[in-house]
Structure 1
Amino acid sequence: MDPLATFVLVGSLVVGSSWAAPRLRLPVPLLQLLLGLLVGLIPPVQSIHLPSDAVLVLFLPALLFWEALMTPLREVRRDLRVILLLSTLLVVATTFGTAGIGVALGWGWLPALILGAALAPTDATAVGALARALPHRNIVQLRTESLINDGTALVIYTIVIGLAGSSAHYSGAEVTWLVVLAYGGGGIVGLLAGFLGTAVLRRLSDPLMHNAALILVPFAAFLAAEQIHASGVIAVVVAGLYLSRTGPRSGTPQSRQQRDGFWILATTTLNGALFVLIGIEAQSALRSVSTQSIPLLLALCVLIWIAILLIRFVFQMFTTWTIRLVDRSPAQRRKRMTHRARVVSTVAGFRGAISLAVALAVPAGMPGRAEIVFVATGVVILTILAQGLLLPAVIRWARFEPDSMVSAEFTRAHRTALLSAIRAMPALAQEIGAPDHVRDRLVNEYRERLERIDGSPGSEHSTRRDLDRDYAALSLALVDRTRDIVIRLRNHGTISDVTLHRLQSRLDRDALHLAPASTERHE
Structure 2
Amino acid sequence: MNPVTAFALVGALGVGAQWLAWRLNLPAIVLMLLAGLLVGPVFGVLDPSVAMGDLLQPIVAIAVAIILFEGGLTLNFKSLADAAVGVKRLVIIGGPIGWLLSASVLHYVGGLSWAAASVFGGIMIVTGPTVIAPLLRQARLKRRPAALLQWEAIVNDPVGALAAVLAFEVVLVWQTAATVEEVVWTLAIGVVVATLVGIAAGWGIAKSFSSGWVPEYMKVPVLFVSVLVAFAATDSLLHESGLLAVTIMGVWIANSHLPSHAEMHRFKEHATILLVSGVFILLAANMSRETLLSMNWQTLATVVAVILIARPVTVLISLAFSNVPWAERLLVAFTGPRGVVLVAVAGLFGERLVQAGIEDAARISTLAFALVAGTVLLHGFSLKPLAQLLGLTASTTPGVLLVGGNRWTVEFGKLLKKLDLPVMISDPNRSHLREAREAGLSIYTGDILSEGAEHRLDLMAYETVIAATDNDAYNTLVATDLAPEFGRENVYQLNRETSESARYALPPKLGGRALGAGETYWQVQRRMWDGWEFRSTTLSEEFTLEDWYNTHPEGIPIADIGPRGTLRILGPKTTPKDARGTRLIAMLPMKEHRAKAEGQA
CA contact (8 A) 2:131 2:338 kept: yes
| 1:370/1:396 CA distance change after superposition, 3 Å | same
Map of 1:329 onto structure 2: none
1:194 to 194, 202, 207: 202
1:215-253 Cα offsets, whole Å, 9 max, x none, are 22322222233244382222212211211122424x5xx
Specify every segment of 5 or more residues in structure 2 that has no aligned partner in the other structure, as ranges.
Answer: 406-426, 445-464, 480-490, 516-520, 522-557, 560-566, 571-601
Report how far residue 161 of structure 1 moved.
Answer: 2.9
SS of the residue corresponding to residue 34 of structure 2 reads: helix
| 1:151/1:273 CA distance change after superposition, 3 Å | same
Map of 2:132 onto structure 1: 127
Q: Does 1:226 align with 2:225?
A: no
1:294-344 Cα offsets, whole Å, 9 max, x none, are 324xx32442343244222222322333x45xxxxxxxxxxx222221121
Map of 2:363 onto structure 1: 371
Report how far residue 178 of structure 1 moved.
Answer: 6.0
Which has the greater radius of gyration? Answer: 2
Q: Does 1:24 align with 2:34?
A: no
2:382 to 370, 381, 390: 390
Map of 2:155 onto structure 1: 148
Alpha-carbon RMSD across the aligned residues, in angstroms, is: 4.3
Q: Does 1:214 align with 2:223?
A: yes
Map of 1:456 onto structure 2: 436
Report how far residue 39 of structure 1 moved.
Answer: 1.5
Map of 1:315 onto structure 2: 314
1:94 to 83, 94, 98: 98
| 1:368/1:101 CA distance change after superposition, 3 Å | same
Amino acid at match of 2:295: I
Distance 1:310 1:36 in 2: 29
CA contact (8 A) 1:204 1:210 kept: no
Map of 1:327 onto structure 2: none
1:27-70 Cα offsets, whole Å, 9 max, x none, are 111111111111122224135479443322x2122112222212
Aligned residues: 441
Amino acid at match of 2:318: T
TM-score (norm 2): 0.63
Alignment of 1:342-353 (within 5 A): 342-353=329-340
Distance 1:110 1:478 in 2: 67
| 1:256/1:127 CA distance change after superposition, 3 Å | closer
Report how far residue 352 of structure 1 moved.
Answer: 0.6
Map of 2:146 onto structure 1: 139
2:290 to 287, 297, 300: 287
Distance 1:508 1:206 in 2: 24
CA contact (8 A) 2:118 2:167 kept: yes
Report how far residue 410 of structure 1 moved.
Answer: 12
Report how far residue 208 of structure 1 moved.
Answer: 1.4
1:82 to 81, 86, 107: 86
| 1:220/1:153 CA distance change after superposition, 3 Å | same
Distance 2:14 2:221 in 1: 25
Map of 1:510 onto structure 2: 511
Q: Does 1:400 align with 2:392?
A: yes
Amino acid at match of 2:33: L
Amino acid at match of 2:28: V
Report how far residue 393 of structure 1 moved.
Answer: 0.7
Distance 1:114 1:21 in 2: 35
Map of 1:45 onto structure 2: 46
Map of 2:594 onto structure 1: none
CA contact (8 A) 2:90 2:318 kept: no
CA contact (8 A) 2:127 2:153 kept: yes
1:367-426 Cα offsets, whole Å, 9 max, x none, are 2344211110011011101111111110001113858xxx9x9999x9xxxxxxxxxxxx
Amino acid at match of 1:315: T
Q: Does 1:54 align with 2:59?
A: yes
| 1:35/1:112 CA distance change after superposition, 3 Å | same
| 1:303/1:200 CA distance change after superposition, 3 Å | same
| 1:240/1:460 CA distance change after superposition, 3 Å | closer
Alignment of 1:159-198 (within 5 A): 159-165=166-172, 167-168=175-176, 180-181=188-189, 183-198=191-206
| 1:478/1:368 CA distance change after superposition, 3 Å | same
| 1:521/1:39 CA distance change after superposition, 3 Å | closer
Distance 2:402 2:237 in 1: 42
Map of 2:342 onto structure 1: 355
Distance 1:123 1:345 in 2: 13
Report how far residue 10 of structure 1 moved.
Answer: 0.9
SS of the residue corresponding to residue 324 of structure 2 reads: coil
Map of 1:468 onto structure 2: 468
Distance 1:382 1:318 in 2: 24
| 1:381/1:508 CA distance change after superposition, 3 Å | same
Determine which structure has greater relative contact order: mean sequence separation of CA pairs < 8 Å that are 6+ residues apart, divided by chain length.
Answer: 1
CA contact (8 A) 1:17 1:32 kept: yes
Distance 2:46 2:170 in 1: 36
SS of the residue corresponding to residue 71 of structure 1 reads: coil
* Higher helix residue share: 1
1:456-490 Cα offsets, whole Å, 9 max, x none, are 266599x99978189869985858x99xxxxxxxx
Amino acid at match of 2:202: G
Distance 1:460 1:341 in 2: 29
Report how far residue 261 of structure 1 moved.
Answer: 4.6
Report how far residue 454 of structure 1 moved.
Answer: 6.9
Q: Does 1:237 align with 2:247?
A: yes
